[in-house]
Amino acid sequence: MVQRQLPNPAELLELMKFKKPEFDGKKRRLDSALTIDDLRTIAKRRTPKAAFDYTDGAAEGELSLTRARQAFQDVEFHPGILRPAPSVDTSVDILGGPSALPFGIAPTGFTRLMQTEGEVAGAGAAAAAGIPFTLSTLGTTSIEGVKAANPHGRNWFQLYVMRDREISYELTRRAAAAGFDTLQFTVDTPVAGARLRDKRNGFSIPPQLTLGTIINAIPRPWWWYDFLTTPKLEFASLSTTGGTVGELLDAAMDPTISYDDLAVIRDIWPGKIVIKGVQNVEDSVRLRDAGVDGIVLSNHGGRQLDRAPIPFHLLPEVRKAVGDEFTVMIDTGIMNGADIVAAVALGADFTLIGRAYLYGLMAGGRSGVDRTIDILRTEIERTMRLLGVASLAELEPAHVTQLTRLVPVTRSASDAVVR
């Protein structure tokens, strides 16, 4: 029989120690976020629908984004055992400079519409973490404003080639003068993708008040207070706004962009140049041979061509084709530090996060971006320890299997379908 006794008051007191309450509401909600998806949930609760959907959504049926995220979930890791990794080195040299982590912040447009601190929060958090920050041509803080927010860290600039080429040339010169060290020349946006959530929400720049937006804003007064009591949006390039995001993109972008434009920008830009939006092996090899410093495998977060190739699936084949010395980066679909580890193992030199950063921004401004980086850092370090690797250099393709759900269909000469 189990021997029973009266509870010992001293032992009860040890069990009844209460957690110290946290009275800072922002800190409390950010501390409760254990994953990027948790930050997304908070962001959705705190941000008007149109602004949240602009961040969260993708083109048409959103298949490209769904497939990209699923590709990372369909990863099988192969850990080594009896390989102690009590501490891990997450640092990497990328494009001629250091990064404390194998990811940087991707370029995002209209960022202050998500949360009023916008790019200043992103650049400040990147500086604190020792990682690069990328400003979009369609960012809502000027080149010089980002430099002021991150005066000693690594700033990168993402360039769209516009119909008025002189705008693009002047932006390139300004970024160089401000000390930005890398240019992301974006090639996957000759026209705007069909972002249906934005059309259904009537999302425009600047936001237009309708009965629907007013009703949606009632439980989110803090967002409107921030938006209406802070300085007017300052775009990195556009001097005039008005209309939907798609209309703005179509007015600014030029479908005639070509290798000739790349040559002109290459002559203007003194730093490293990478091509963002590469989606096949042939273009990867051609760009390497053209002398650029690297590429970003990306389908623009699924926001342009729906059903576009999955960057993570392309990665091993591209790495094999371009060799080990050429810089290959990847974005789209990253929601966990394990996704980043898998990408590095399969040949990525670096990764970029877009939505993950914006979820943190919407959830809590600068503190939310800090929380995003902290979550990803923790997941990267834990995954590396569990794999038995002490540095990123020890990661290799043998650590990862890409499980496939989508199997390409090939056709024989007689057009019979062969699987």
pLDDT in tens, 42-78: 999 999 998 899 999 999 999 999 999 999 999 999 9
Q: What angle do CA 419, 74, 350 make, to 5 degrees?
A: 115
Region 204-232: mean pLDDT is 75
Model confidence at 240: pLDDT above 70: no
Predicted local confidence at residue 237, as pLDDT? 61
List b or e across 186-198, with b for residues whose CB sees 16 or more CB atoms inside 10 angstroms: bbbbeebbbbbbb
Residue 8 phi, psi dihedral angles, 5° rounding: -85, 120
Torsion of CA 258, 96, 153, 297, to 10 degrees: 40
Predicted local confidence at residue 206, as pLDDT? 62
Nearest residue to 73 via CA among 338, 381, 284, 259: 338
The domains of the chain, with CATH numbers, are 25-403 (3.20.20.70)
272 and 181 Cβ atoms separated by less than 8 Å: yes
Predicted local confidence at residue 231, as pLDDT? 80
pLDDT in tens, 322-378: 999 999 999 999 999 999 999 999 999 999 999 999 999 999 999 999 999 999 999
Predicted local confidence at residue 418, as pLDDT? 41
Total-model pTM? 0.91
Model confidence at 159: pLDDT above 90: yes
Predicted local confidence at residue 216, as pLDDT? 75
Report the chain's terminal Cα–Cα distance, integer Å. 65
pLDDT in tens, 103-133: 999 999 889 989 999 999 999 999 999 999 9
Predicted local confidence at residue 417, as pLDDT? 42
**Burial environment of residue 59 by CB neighbours within 10 A (0 to 12, 13 to 18, 19 or more):** buried
Predicted local confidence at residue 4, as pLDDT? 84
Predicted local confidence at residue 368, as pLDDT? 98
Q: Which residues are catalytic?
A: 300
Torsion of CA 124, 294, 310, 345, to 10 degrees: -80
Tokens of 296: 């970003």
Predicted local confidence at residue 15, as pLDDT? 73
**Burial environment of residue 319 by CB neighbours within 10 A (0 to 12, 13 to 18, 19 or more):** buried
Q: Which of 187-191, 266-270, 400-404 has the lowest mean pLDDT?
A: 187-191
Neighbours of 180 (CB within 10 A): 24
Predicted local confidence at residue 247, as pLDDT? 64
Region 206-214: mean pLDDT is 66
The residue whose two tokens read 């189990």 is 2
Predicted local confidence at residue 280, as pLDDT? 96
Distance CA 90, CA 312 (A): 20
Distance CA 21, CA 35 (A): 22
Percent of the chain exceeding pLDDT 90 equals: 68
Q: 359 or 25: whose pLDDT is higher?
A: 359
**CA-based radius of gyration for the chain:** 23
Predicted local confidence at residue 255, as pLDDT? 85
The residue whose two tokens read 């001097």 is 239
Per-residue confidence band for 205, with pLDDT thresholds at 50, 70 and 90: low
pLDDT in tens, 277-305: 999 999 999 999 999 999 999 999 999 99
Alpha-carbon distances of 314 from 67, 85, 397, rounded to whole Å? 13, 30, 14
Tokens of 270: 């003194």
Region 96-108: mean pLDDT is 97
- Host H or E run for residue 28: helix 25-31
Tokens of 410: 């090939």
- If DSSP codes are grouped into helix, strand and coil, which group holds residue 213? helix
Nearest residue to 98 via CA among 398, 397, 376, 349: 349
Cα four-point dihedral sign 335, 97, 289, 136: positive
Position 152, amino acid: H
Question: How does strand 97-99 pair with strand 92-94?
Answer: antiparallel
